[in-house]
């Protein structure tokens, strides 16, 4: 079933995308203000979410609710 969303589709994280803090599957990708991106599993994202937002990181992909 197709959805009609105007915004560009973000990339999809796959099983090959791994959390940068552990080896769990990454569910969230964030862009850091100083450049680069961070892949995090649900657990580690929750650990650093407040800090990331505080430094101005942008959440590119969030697949935790799927």
Would you say 6 or 29 has its CB closer to Zn ion?
A: 29
- Cα–Cα distance for residue pair 64/66, rounded to 1 Å: 6
Of residues 22-61, those binding Zn ion (CB under 5 A) = 22, 24, 41, 44
Query: Cβ distance 42 to 22 under 8 Å?
Result: no
Residue 22 or 32 with smaller CB distance to Zn ion: 22
Nearer to Zn ion, 21 or 31 (CB): 21
Query: What is the nearest approach in angstroms of Zn ion to the Cβ of residue 25?
Result: 9
Q: For residue 14, give both structure tokens.
A: 């796959």
């Amino acid at each position: 079933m197709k959805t009609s969303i105007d915004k560009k589709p973000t990339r999809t994280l796959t099983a090959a995308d791994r959390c940068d803090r552990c080896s769990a599957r990454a569910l969230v990708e964030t862009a850091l203000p100083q450049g680069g991106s961070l892949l995090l599993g649900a657990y580690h994202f929750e650990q650093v979410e407040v800090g990331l937002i505080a430094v101005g990181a942008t959440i590119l992909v969030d697949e935790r609710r799927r």
